[in-house]
């Protein structure tokens, strides 16, 4: 959607490449000037049971929740990632509580791909989009791919803290990549 599109403004999202992480696409080649682009993939299992379990977990926000965040829908009580639904993600870091308002902008569920992308709303510490995608290869290997587009928030206080937020983002990304691995 173009930056001056009325539908984008009505959406309330605070960034321009809405849907830019393209969770339905196996190959992500998009580049957006002004955004830090990130993509990593990790093996999380093998076989039909791991596939089903991982799909259910990713859609229930388990990547975020198992990494130390609380996720709550803004309306209703269903946590499952649903397109166009708003959520409040909360992180507690020592004495600080950080609230992240987000909206799911895209979901995907096919025979080989499952996941979603969410975008930031005003008040979020950064501006951009993040996607969690579970996919499987023909040999049955199950993978988790993280994608994100990030830039500093337009809010002055958060903009000043952006370098610190980038460090925190690196720590959490490592947690995300381990979040859906089997727990033995």
Task: Report how far apart, in Å, the C-alpha atoms of 116 and of each of 56, 167, 184 are.
Answer: 12, 24, 27
* Angle CA 131–133–139, to nearest 5: 160
Query: Which pLDDT tens digit goes with each residue over 15-44?
Result: 988 999 999 999 999 889 999 899 999 999
**More confident call, 93 vs 7:** 93
pTM score of the predicted model: 0.87
Quick one: pLDDT at residue 86? 96
Quick one: pLDDT at residue 159? 67
Q: Does the pLDDT of residue 3 top 70, yes or no?
A: no
Mean pLDDT score of the chain: 88
């Amino acid at each position: 959607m173009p930056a001056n599109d009325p539908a984008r403004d009505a959406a309330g999202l605070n960034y321009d490449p809405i849907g830019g992480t393209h969770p339905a696409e196996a190959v992500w080649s998009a580049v957006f000037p002004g955004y830090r682009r990130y993509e990593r993939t990790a093996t999380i299992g093998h076989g039909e049971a791991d596939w089903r379990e991982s799909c259910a977990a990713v859609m229930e926000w388990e990547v975020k929740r198992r990494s130390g965040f609380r996720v709550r829908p803004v309306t209703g009580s269903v946590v499952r990632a649903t397109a166009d639904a708003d959520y409040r993600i909360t992180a507690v870091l020592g004495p600080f509580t950080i609230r992240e308002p987000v909206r799911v902008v895209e979901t995907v569920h096919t025979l080989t791909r499952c996941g979603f992308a969410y975008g930031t709303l005003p008040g979020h510490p950064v501006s951009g989009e993040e996607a969690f995608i579970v996919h499987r290869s023909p040999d049955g290997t199950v993978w988790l791919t993280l994608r994100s587009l990030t830039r500093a928030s337009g809010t002055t206080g958060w903009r000043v803290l952006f370098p610190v937020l980038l460090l925190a983002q690196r720590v959490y990304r490592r947690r995300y990549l381990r979040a859906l691995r089997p727990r033995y």
